[in-house]
Amino acid sequence: MKQTTNNEILKIEKLKKYFHIGKDKKGPIYVRAVDGVDLNIKHGETLGLVGESGSGKSTIAYTVVGMYRPTSGQIMFKGKNTGMEASRRSLSSKKEIQIVFQDPGSSLNTRQTIEQILALPLRIHTQIPKRQFREKIVELLEKVELSPDYLYKSPSLIGGGEKQMVAIARAMAPNPSLIILDEPTSALDVSVQAKIINKLIDLQKEMNLSYLFITHDLSLMRNVANRIAIMYLGKICEVAESATFFEKPLHPYTQMLISSVPVITEEEKKLKPKKAISIGEIPSPVNIPLGCSFHLRCPYKMSICSKVDPEMIEFSPEHIVRCHLFAKLENKKQERSD
Amino acid sequence: MKTKENILLNIKDLHVWYRVYGGFLKVLNGVHLMVREGERVGLVGEAGCGKTTTMKSILQILPPGDFHIPRGQIFYKGQDVLKMSFKELQRLRSREIAMIFQDPTAALNPVFIIGTQIGDVIKYSSAVLEENVHQQEKIKMLSIKTLKEVSLPDPERMLINYSFQLSGGMKQRVCIAMAICSARNLLIADEPGTSLDVTIQDQIMRLLNELVEKRNTAIILITHSLAVAREMTDRIYVMYAGTIVETATPEILFKNPVHPYTKGLLASVPKISGGGISNGIPGKLPSYLNPPSGCRFQPRCEQESPICSEKPPQLFEIEKNHLVACYLTQR
């Protein structure tokens, strides 16, 4: 076991995050945003976390950076438990985990210049003397292909793509080893998105970074992530390497997601599962259905699905799925008809 | 001049400017767009390229006082919309053209129940209603019928709900119901799935497609996603900085894109079959205050030549159903 832990930069075990929203006769009401999640990220890897809105993917991100305290479960970062809110973490562990938010318009302070924005992480997390700040900031801007002219600009005067580049430079400033990207390009156009994604991939190689990439865009994940985890109502449905993931999606929800992605070539169209077309909507995380949380929308529903919550099954190495269909398969070794 | 019978909407050389401090934002610079009866047309372009401005000028719902139309014509059934009287415009908006907006949360009023909002649309747009005693019941019946058509569960109860009690997908279905509850000839859908999840977007698109086919309504689908346009439409217009740069059927456009902008855009789309993403298109949209005098894509174009900065290229038919506005094709 020890060898695997060395290889992993982040290990999330049985993570739960409930939000208390009120009371009724039966007792307190909780939003079960994250409900028992196991995940791990290896060194230098990109893990894509995909799900619909309300599935709890951002809650995981915020818990990992320490914006929330987990209800239960552990977050192991480089072998050390970091499952607490940021105010109780050591400065050195905060330096290691950085985040880029979805909307750069609200994550950058418009009252500050870009120089001021980028100076803050340097002041807090590095030992660089103050007189060398400018040099370092210009270096950071060069990393994200922005010219030194941007030093004195305000974020309100530059475009969305450039703003996100500044946010990325800010996350890179303390020299972290894990960056959480919370839908970094979903507010941007595709041509701008392409530029940012390529920059992120280059920086990952250059600085040996690990990414937790959160998004709802499956086709983007295919081109960025090494492994993909699908999340539905606070639980992980399926984890696999990104190529196998699209060639052989197992979980009915994964199939539904892939079949919903609009595509531009015939080659891609062949990858889309035919049977699992999208029906229904994601239920509220206050009333998670009994049994498998997906059974209300599932085209392969069985009687067991509404009673028993399925376990995680290792279908093949590095391919984990949480569905009763494959529990049966394991016993009988049957081929699933599609 | 009388236009051909089967052409429903024909926009010719439309220019729209917005008045701002320091001059005019020259947003639309000669838009040509044509919709035949029962045709599904896609209008694709990135944020800020003038898609919504084009659509709003069809209905004349641009911000009053702030815009100026120096040139252009919009023919709807052979009649110029820009020359219509207020009464004719009201008729156009209520009986002929319906619009679905991007954000259903903003499109529905949270202080009125759904029933009132749909009822109002039916009351002011439907020709079948006459002054009689059973009007209220007839409106209710029609509302329930349309809500059923957009596959909303339990339509009777839906009528007494407020919009904030519904999910995003359900709200968008209500908006679609409001758009289709009276027989209209043209539906304008402005990014109907963008604010929704992929699975819900897929459902909404399938629903729209079904309804349009069943009723033989023409639809203009505005989207920033080439993939959505490919799956939904008969013909695609690609727009860049207030001009139409290329138009073709989806089969032709995706197999043989000609304009450098279309090519760059197509290469930027991530594919589920993998293979990485290109580097995008360098540069950004030009300022509308002082746009380039020639082709508006010229500052970002890798194949520019001296003629490109002189005067804007016109749409040119390079094969059947395939028009491109680029000097590369005209040499």
Q: Residue length, chain B?
A: 331
Q: Do A246 and B281 touch (CB under 8 A)?
A: no
* pLDDT reported for residue B187: 93
Domain range summary for chain B, segments of one domain joined by +: 7-240
Nearest-5° angle of CA A46, CA A51, CA A57?
70
* pLDDT reported for residue A284: 82
Taking residues B60-86, what's their average pLDDT?
90
Q: Name the closest residue on chain A to residue B45, using Cα atoms.
A: A189
Q: What is the DSSP letter of B181?
A: S
Q: What interhelical angle do B168-180 and B198-215 show, nearest 10?
A: 10
CATH class (in words) of the domain with range A2-332 = alpha beta
Confidence of residue A2 (pLDDT cuts 50, 70, 90): very low
Given a cut of 50, is residue B4 above it in pLDDT? no
Query: Sign (positive/negative) of CA torsion A211, A217, A221, A227?
Result: positive
Residues in chain A with CB shorter than 8 Å from the CB of B205 are 262
Given a cut of 70, is residue B190 above it in pLDDT? yes
Give me the long-range contacts of B295-298 (CB less than 8 A, separation at least 24): B295/B325, B295/B326, B295/B327, B296/B29, B296/B240, B296/B241, B296/B242, B296/B243, B297/B240, B297/B241, B297/B245, B297/B259, B297/B260, B297/B261
* pLDDT reported for residue A111: 92
Three-state SS at B103: coil
Taking residues A266-283, what's their average pLDDT?
82
Mutate to test the interface with A, among B277, B278, B279, B297 (most CBs of A within 10 A): B277
The 10s digit of each residue's pLDDT in B250-277 is 999 999 999 999 999 998 888 888 777 8
B170 touches chain A (CB under 8 A): yes
Residues in chain A with CB shorter than 8 Å from the CB of B271 are 219, 222-223, 263-265, 267-268
A44: alpha, beta or left? (left if phi > 0; alpha if psi -120 to 50) = left
Q: Which residues pair with B187 in a beta bridge?
A: B98, B219
Token pair recorded at residue B93? 């908006």
Three-state SS at B147: helix
B231 touches chain A (CB under 8 A): yes
Q: Does residue A217 contact residue A16 with C-beta atoms inside 8 Å?
A: no
Confidence of residue B331 (pLDDT cuts 50, 70, 90): low
Given a cut of 60, is residue A86 above it in pLDDT? yes
Given a cut of 70, is residue A4 above it in pLDDT? no
A282 touches chain B (CB under 8 A): yes
- CA–CA distance from B216 to each of A293, A310, B186 (Å)? 39, 46, 10
Nearest-5° angle of CA B216, CA B222, CA B224?
140
Tell me, which fold does domain B7-240 have in CATH?
Rossmann fold (3.40.50)
* pLDDT reported for residue A182: 92
DSSP letter for each residue of A252-297: HHHHHHHHHS--SSHHHHHHS-SS----S-PPPTTSPPSSSTTTTT
Given a cut of 80, is residue B166 above it in pLDDT? yes
Taking residues A9-23, what's their average pLDDT?
91
User: What is the number of other CB atoms lying within 10 angstroms of the CB of residue A207?
Assistant: 14
Cα of B68 vs its chain's centroid, Å: 21
Can you give the pTM of this predicted structure? 0.86
Instruction: Give the up-direction half-sphere exposure of residue A320: CA atoms within 13 A in the CB hemisphere.
Output: 17
B14: alpha, beta or left? (left if phi > 0; alpha if psi -120 to 50) = beta
The 10s digit of each residue's pLDDT in A93-114 is 889 999 999 888 899 999 999 9
Q: Which of B222, B238, B141, B143 is nearest to B186 (CA)?
A: B222
- CA–CA distance from B309 to each of A222, B285, B291, B299 (Å)? 39, 16, 11, 9
A220 touches chain B (CB under 8 A): yes
Given a cut of 70, is residue B5 above it in pLDDT? no
Rounded to a whole number of angstroms, the distance from the CA of B224 to the nearest CA of chain A is 8
Taking residues B122-139, what's their average pLDDT?
71
Q: Which of B243, B250, B242 is nearest to B266 (CA)?
A: B250
* pLDDT reported for residue A47: 95
Confidence of residue B229 (pLDDT cuts 50, 70, 90): very high
ipTM of the complex: 0.82
Distance CA B326, CA B142 (A): 49
- CA–CA distance from B49 to each of A55, A311, B31, B52, B232 (Å)? 33, 49, 11, 8, 21
Cα of A309 vs its chain's centroid, Å: 24
Q: Name the closest residue on chain A to residue B285, using Cα atoms.
A: A159
Burial classification of residue A32, based on how many CB atoms lie within 10 Å of its CB (0-12 exposed, 13-18 middle, 19 or more buried) = buried
Query: Sign (positive/negative) of CA torsion B295, B300, B305, B309?
Result: positive
B6 touches chain A (CB under 8 A): no
Taking residues A7-19, what's their average pLDDT?
91
Distance CA A37, CA A236 (A): 6
Residues in chain A with CB shorter than 8 Å from the CB of B277 are 194, 197-198, 223
Rounded to a whole number of angstroms, the distance from the CA of B257 to the nearest CA of chain A is 12
Task: List CB contacts of A9: < 8 A, sequence separation 6 or more.
Answer: A41, A42, A43, A77, A78, A177, A178, A210
Distance CA A213, CA A93 (A): 20
Q: Do B202 and A278 touch (CB under 8 A)?
A: yes
Q: Do B273 and A271 touch (CB under 8 A)?
A: yes
A202 touches chain B (CB under 8 A): no
Given a cut of 90, is residue B219 above it in pLDDT? yes
